[in-house]
Amino acid sequence: MPQTQAKASEAASHLDYMRQALDLARKSPPKPTNYRVGALVVDPRKNETLATGYTLECEGNTHAEQSCFIKLAEEHKISEEQLGSVLPEGAVLYTTVEPCFKRLSGSRPCVDRILRLGKAIQTVYVGVKEPEKFVGENTGRRQLEEAGIKVVFVEGLEKEILNVATAGHVSEGG
């Protein structure tokens, strides 16, 4: 019985973090050319949020995960590439939409940013798969898993996440 309670508690915790990420996504301005995404970098051993981010939060055409990394790098006065050396062991990333594997803007994809951190991020919790609207099927999950990073879908907020993510998009029918 305690294992069941622990699993239920863990699932509730993941949903709580995903709700926080969804609240961040709502801060992103609606645009027809991107998804509104929220993300958190968390130290699960301390139950502590290390950084938050949302699409277009930082200067430029920034994604939510990228905004987290930019803010963490600034906080530690290091480059984004050096973040792997300061993140606590077992750090995890929560993101409402699966990290991108390709950017039409030419910026570095979020999957590459995660991979460049080495083993600093060991698990990525995702609310929904990336819709295929802009770049087709997202192969980022496979790239992360092949590098030994777990990708776990947190169920329960899919419809709400997609509604927020696609706000500002022109519907197919009109």
Q: Which residues have a catalytic role annotated?
A: 65
Q: Alpha-carbon distance 143 to 61, whole Å?
A: 23
Interatomic CA distance for residues 97 and 5, integer angstroms: 28
96 by DSSP, 3-state: which? Answer: strand
The span from the CA of 157 to the CA of 140, in Å, is: 21
Chain-centroid distance, C-alpha 30 = 18
Residue ranges with strand state E in the chain: 38-43, 48-54, 91-97, 121-128, 150-153
151, two tokens: 């990708």
Per the DSSP assignment, residues forming a β-bridge with 91 are 121
Q: Closest Cα partner for 51 from 74, 22, 25? A: 74
Q: Which amino acid is at 30?
A: P
